[in-house]
Amino acid sequence: MTNVRLPAVAGVFYPKEPDTLLAMVEKMLEEALLKTPPAITSRGTPRALVVPHAGFLYSGPIAASAYCLLSKLNPPPARVLLLGPSHRIFFKGIATSTATSFGTPLGEIPVDRTFVDQMETLPGIDVYDPAHTQEHSIEVQLPFLEVQLGQVPIIPLVAGEASDSIVARIITAVLKIPETLIVISTDLSHYLPSGQARLLDARTASAIVSPEYRPLDHQMACGSHPLNGFLMAAHEAGLKGEILDLRNSGDTSGPNNEVVGYGSFAFWSP
């Protein structure tokens, strides 16, 4: 039986018309790839990406700076694990979904049900569909993945009140499974004047790519719990991170008095 998680923020965070959405995503990816230094594109397939999750007018170009690295992968990843924070409801732990696919205006992306069922045996992970129903932190990543990877299946996870160590154990388990791309969804600072945001976001970006684990708080990243857990596991596994883009909503499409910070990062295996 099919069970499709329908789009919740199409027409709000990104265009609901397929042609408009496709043109917008392709344009952002093309522009981002042109700006990417050869030293980055020559590093090959990243093991993990950290990307923002606001409306495409605001954070889309920053997210594209990471997703453009997935162009012409040979071979593509076998699956993509998506982990983002919950914005709308409170719950404990990390939520999987019973969905067999996640829909966008561009089509449906299958869920790797075999992998999800295995994930549900790990501590701290449970089935909780309400966490996914209206959540945008995962949904806004899907059009980029569809354009770059087609029908590569996903493992969608939404983090509620979950400790960094629980997240780290999950990421560690996933890192042992080859050909699995990890995508961590988080924005950075919120509602600061642009100048203050740039200072704080620069500190946050430095911590994210630091060779030593430096935990972040919620003022530095709204997805600090999933991000901290990822960073704990990434450092243990020896992954090396690079800053790809670091801007805020005042730089892309908004006023500068109260901005939201966005960063994109890639991590490669040693």
Using the predicted structure, report yes or no on whether residue 72 has a pLDDT greater than 90.
no
Using the predicted structure, report yes or no on whether residue 231 has a pLDDT greater than 80.
yes
Strands ordered across the beta sheet of 101-104: 4-5, 101-104, 107-110
Q: What's this model's pTM, rounded to 2 decimal places?
A: 0.97
pLDDT tens digits, one per residue of 28-45: 999 999 999 999 988 989
pLDDT of residue 55: 97
Q: What is the 3-state secondary structure (H, E, C) of the chain?
A: CCCEECCCCECCCECCCHHHHHHHHHHHHHHHHHHCCHHHHCCCCCCEEEECCCCHHHHHHHHHHHHHHHCCCCCCCCEEEEEEECCCCCCECEEECCCCEEEECCEEEEECHHHHHHHCCCCCEEECCHHHHCCHHHHCCHHHHHHHHCCCCEEEEEECECCHHHHHHHHHHHHCCCCEEEEEECCCCEEECHHHHHHHHHHHHHHHCCCCCCCCCCCCCCCHHHHHHHHHHHHHHCCEEEEEEEEEHHHHCCCCCCEEEEEEEEEECC
pLDDT of residue 74: 78
Instruction: Give all domains of the chain, ordered by start, each with its CATH number.
Output: 47-268 (3.40.830.10)
pLDDT of residue 31: 98
Using the predicted structure, report yes or no on whether residue 169 has a pLDDT greater than 90.
yes
pLDDT tens digits, one per residue of 190-202: 999 999 999 999 9
Using the predicted structure, report yes or no on whether residue 1 has a pLDDT greater than 80.
no
Cβ neighbours for 135, distance < 8 A, ≥ 6 positions apart: 8, 84, 86, 87, 88, 158
- Here the tokens at position 49 are 């990406």
Average pLDDT, the chain: 96
